[in-house]
Amino acid sequence: MSNYSTNTDMLRAEIAAAAARLIAEDGADYATAKRKAAKQVLGNAKVRGEIMPDNAQVEDEVRIYNELFFGDTQPARLQHLRKLAVRLMEDLACFSPYLTGAVLNGTAGEHSDIHLQLFAESAKDVEIFLINKNVDFDVSETAHFSGRGEPVETVSFMWNNEGVHLALYETDDLRGAIKAGPDGKPTRSNVDAVRALLGGT
């Protein structure tokens, strides 16, 4: 008997699994991976909204994929990135850094970067801090975690041979940042919580 109650559930699961492979193997971001996976599964057919898996379902599939195909290397890779994240967060302590993304949720692999959210009086304060550390960075934008308002400035650079992305929020945003996600899991964690993750792995 099928585990899927409808064809829609089956298609959604198939797209999630295909997206997970693109994320784990190629380092694709979730939105790109889901779009490409839907095309692989459905061809050029129009994708109905209910067929597209949410990020939580894709994340679960990434975990399964990592266990199946990268079980001998992924845990050490994750540990390495979390240790680097702690060092970086200690350096950036004056900007209330929070870790987010794959390094936090445990799905980080070979192509994963470190994503931090900083909370500062001004984005320029962070830029000046990095310039004084002789960090050569690029500037882009990231959607606000609230899903509302203007995108936030993001600075990206290489550090210890790893990609780092710092999303620069205002200090007032910190109040909304510490809420859990829809699934009850933290979507960002401070340095103490990341240290605790290292202690438990």
Strand arrangement of the beta sheet that strand 162-170 belongs to: 138-142, 152-159, 162-170, 114-120, 98-100, 188-189
What whole-number distance in Å separates Cα of residue 26 and Cα of residue 20? 10
Answer yes or no: is pLDDT of 187 > 70. Answer: yes
pLDDT at residue 131, rounded to an integer: 97
pTM exceeding the 0.85 threshold for the entire prediction: yes
pLDDT, averaged across the chain: 92
- Give me 138's structure tokens: 């690029």
d(CA 79, CA 24): 16
Cβ contacts of 83 within 8 Å, gap of 6 or more: 198
Is-contact 41 11, C-beta < 8 A?
yes
pLDDT tens digits, one per residue of 113-161:
999 999 999 999 999 999 999 999 999 999 998 887 789 999 999 999 9
Amino acid residing at 173: D
| Residue 178, pLDDT score | 65
